[in-house]
Amino acid sequence: MAKTAPINMRVEPTQHSLLTKAAEILNKDRTSFILDVACREAEKVLIEQRLFHLDEEEFTAFEKALDAPIPHNKKLKQLLSEPSPWEA
């Protein structure tokens, strides 16, 4: 992937040191470490969004999808019958 858009930031010396040490532990350069962590957090923020806007046609399609019966899926049924990792 070609890197075409620079991102510059100023940080406190303690932040710089913290980021450098963490990157070194993972055998990454500081830029790759910061980018990986920032992208992971950005994805998390986007996934956690609960409010989204739909026009009337999109909302009708969304409701239809929610109301449709769930097709039989043996693996999904098995997965949902297992306790969650935090419940074990």
Boundaries of every domain in the chain = 13-81
| CA–centroid distance for 9 within its chain | 23
Six token digits for residue 77: 């049924």
Give me Rg for the CA atoms of the chain: 21
Give the number of other Cβ atoms within 10 Å of residue 82's Cβ: 9
pLDDT (0 to 100) of residue 66: 93
In the predicted model, residues of the chain with pLDDT beneath 50 are none
pLDDT single digits (tens) 50-67: 888 899 999 999 999 999
The pLDDT of residue 56 is 96
